[in-house]
Structure 1
């Protein structure tokens, strides 16, 4: 007969877990390893009132604010970089404002995930939000571009923790409610994703503070986020995970060499890809050296992790043997790469094909379609309860097909483009939420949620950057063909002297009325013909990019048939419990004591 005894919170003599959908017990002798003691319990064993506690909902608020701040740190300012450069520049290093955010976030996700698994999450999340707060202040008062780059670097470092929301929220709720919890987090993306470009344009065109207003908003958001982490979020600490007096042991045994190799490899490889075709030519030594050395370092990292005996590896290699997890991470990454293709290309397409005859705010609203669709899909995915693998098998191919159909759009079909884009990105957004959640469920040891999802997040950034580079190269190469082949012929046919064609192309790219007025022989009729020819040539180039997405989405469609059915794992297991600030006891428990059923 079962009896009820009392044991200190977070240190149960026996813990009932339901990993892999099977109930089993582990004693304290089996719990002490690299990721610490197991805290998993059935949610029916949680104290009454646990989910109503202000600490639980305060933590959920901190997680939601965190993802909102992490995304807004880039989405608020990305559409305004040209205005920033005109105001406090000009500088040829303006691209680093965006690049440094991307690089630091991609590298930091893996490191933050592993470190928080071992040492506890609380202070990493607090410090991460504090860094983003500091970076927002630096950007808000930046007198020049180098200061902006420094501030965005701090924001990027902070986003490494802020965007680690998937494992932060997943471990606080029962396995069967993880998808719903992630959908809740995506509600917080409505502001930065759906309205980020609009907010940026509104501050620039309709306020006296200009682009700095975006950072004023970001300061307030990061301040509230930091305070929420500090006052409400109390997951298991290092001492509760490993016992007292062992911190130096774990610090000494941590995989510093592997971390350095992985960091340098990711930084160099992603930096080389981001530089190519924009900052430097693809055949330049800067690009080739960064890509080649970065790739070799990443290969060396995997060999190092696999064959060097490490007590605390950055990447436990047994994760790479988990086929279900690998497949889900790949589909997650490929889905994100399809999204990033349109996040990069669509605003340019709006400016080139559809902005004529509309005010600047129209471009801001139109550019928001991608983020709005992705966020809507991420939220709607939360209604799925069973058969998630079949949902992915529908939403991913359907979304990919709709986005590929963007190749049918012309300068005369802005409505078709917006509808296709909204529907396609909504389906891809649903895939984002489903695959990332299923990846958390397929991890054999739930104490490694941070490590597995941190590695997954870095892989997602890696694949997205790689695919985004392909799309950018395809677009630039096609524009280099379609514009010279179509625009000069149309201009000369309309009566523009051949000697003025080069000047028109330069002036049109510049986009100012003064530059166009200086073109000899140009009149309104010829300008109209040239504008239309430029739009048609651009549409042909964008069409190629949309067709290129099929190559990547095709791989994703094949992989959807390899994903597992996780229905059996949608159990009542809760991986960790929060504690109260006052006494360290589980929320709702009296005097820091919780009841644990023992045999």
Structure 2
């Protein structure tokens, strides 16, 4: 094992202030110093499957239900609060990822991930038995909080493998989400169309995945304990010195800010006092949080501020966030295009709607090649340029060129997924002190969630505004030109939008309906185009950030940041641990 003196010297040279740490255990181990068969042991393999299934459950707990919210609302509603289901998942996910990363850096990881998976299992039970929308919202809140831990497993697997294999470890995790991201919509609609369980079957499936993950965490995952991380320092000592002011400012401010942004144009109009007040209060709290973290004399800060002095890390964090925001545009618009323009068959449409997720998921899995290709910075630049070109070109959409648009989106999402996985691994690689990997990746997850919330609000507003402008401007004149009385136009527009009965509109006939339907489709096409054009702004900034990203070839070493202990791994010892 590396000597305590050598390790201490290395940390002194890095000038990292970690006064609340004793000499850490299980860090900076070389692969050759591990026991024979370490990477083939039940503990290591079981932990990898725990992480993979946890990620799958964390993603799937909302991804499977999301396409079915309309169906769910019809069965247990109808209730206008159904819009809160999406917010109930995304808001706690974004807010709590930083908290999970930071606290697990300080107190050890094992019980955070066990509890997260257990909470997700409870959330699945609540959602699967929900008899009304408020119950579904409550269960989804549990799933969102749990997902903050479940979608943090990339640093769990990353710190357990040699630095040079972190891209491969990430890719292994992403294999598990194929049923929920790659072909998720098809599975969702198959539950509704082919099983007696209906939409509740989605939650039954995720509950089973959670149960498997929970067993694996409990039986196999034994990372460095608090005592190994801190030596003789007590939990009480670290807890007393933790930054509770920063915790309150961050949790309250970020949650209120995202809530206000998410409300805008969905729950309330953008000019509503509810939206304006929450954004203002949340924004002020986040400014106060930033000033507190920067200038207060903190021994155990909520966020290690020195991370933000690493320009390469900051560029990667925002690159991952912005590139993901482009993906969200297509995940919102493409299913609407499928069922609005191309088909009304739920089963076929479900498979067609998979293209965005499938392209992304394949790219994530092939990110295992990141080390072998080398020059990761240029991989990011190339991926972002191709993604920008192909996804931007999807603005060529018409009512008849389904195959062209589908091909462009699949290619673009492939490179977005590849970039996302490479970038996420690099966020944990290029930090100065690997003991901060949970904080570093957790912050990246929170920033990603915040940017995705903002981007989703922008895309949704653009789409709604364009539809509100285009439909009256294009559909009404087309119907009148085909013989519809002008007095019947409001009722006809309502019928076209699904809010009325077309057959009851005075003066309507099949020719008028056909003309109106064609005009309606073109009105939506023009709205989709504007959303696609808007992604180019995010993409251009992402390309600039990709150029600012680092190459990490020199960091592709045999070093292992943390080792498992217990079971058949009793021979694994870290720095400062005595025989």
Aligned to 1:546: 532
* SS at structure 2 position matched to 1:384: helix
Distance, in Å, in 1 between the alignment partners of 2:563 and 2:90 is: 32
Distance, in Å, in 1 between the alignment partners of 2:311 and 2:44 is: 34
Unmatched segments (≥5 aa) in structure 1? 1-6
CA RMSD of aligned residues (A): 2.2
Asked whether 1:562 is paired with 2:548, we answer yes
Deviates more, 1:468-477 or 1:331-340: 468-477
Contact 2:31 2:559 in 1 (8 A): yes
1:50–1:537 distance in 2 versus 1, CA, 3 Å: same
Aligned to 2:259: 271
Aligned to 1:415: 403
Asked whether 1:509 is paired with 2:497, we answer yes
Asked whether 1:394 is paired with 2:382, we answer yes
Q: 1:136 aligns with which of 112, 124, 129?
A: 124
Contact 1:35 1:447 in 2 (8 A): no
Distance, in Å, in 2 between the alignment partners of 1:63 and 1:336 is: 22
1:517–1:442 distance in 2 versus 1, CA, 3 Å: same
Aligned to 1:94: 82
Distance, in Å, in 2 between the alignment partners of 1:311 and 1:25 is: 17
Deviates more, 1:162-171 or 1:32-41: 32-41
Distance, in Å, in 1 between the alignment partners of 2:113 and 2:325 is: 27
1:570–1:16 distance in 2 versus 1, CA, 3 Å: farther
Contact 1:264 1:294 in 2 (8 A): yes
The structural deviation recorded for 1:351 is 2.3
Aligned to 1:374: 360
Contact 1:42 1:573 in 2 (8 A): yes
Distance, in Å, in 1 between the alignment partners of 2:21 and 2:443 is: 16
Aligned to 1:434: 422
Distance, in Å, in 2 between the alignment partners of 1:232 and 1:90 is: 44
Aligned to 1:84: 72
* SS at structure 2 position matched to 1:258: helix
The structural deviation recorded for 1:524 is 2.1
Aligned to 1:364: 350
Asked whether 1:525 is paired with 2:515, we answer no
Distance, in Å, in 2 between the alignment partners of 1:35 and 1:475 is: 50
Matches within 5 A, 1:247-326: 247-326=235-314
Distance, in Å, in 2 between the alignment partners of 1:170 and 1:164 is: 11
Asked whether 1:57 is paired with 2:45, we answer yes
1:15–1:42 distance in 2 versus 1, CA, 3 Å: farther
Distance, in Å, in 1 between the alignment partners of 2:123 and 2:437 is: 28
Provide, for residues 133-189 of structure 1, a one-character-per-residue CA deviation record: whole Å limited to 9, x for no partner.
Answer: 000000011111111111111111110100002211110011111111111111111
Deviates more, 1:471-480 or 1:242-251: 242-251
Distance, in Å, in 1 between the alignment partners of 2:69 and 2:6 is: 53
1:284–1:511 distance in 2 versus 1, CA, 3 Å: closer
Distance, in Å, in 2 between the alignment partners of 1:250 and 1:483 is: 60
1:53–1:525 distance in 2 versus 1, CA, 3 Å: same
Aligned to 2:324: 336
Aligned to 1:4: none
Distance, in Å, in 1 between the alignment partners of 2:466 and 2:575 is: 67
Contact 1:440 1:449 in 2 (8 A): yes
* SS at structure 1 position matched to 2:497: helix
TM superposition score normalised by structure 1: 0.92
Matches within 5 A, 1:100-499: 100-244=88-232, 246-355=234-343, 358-385=344-371, 386-499=374-487
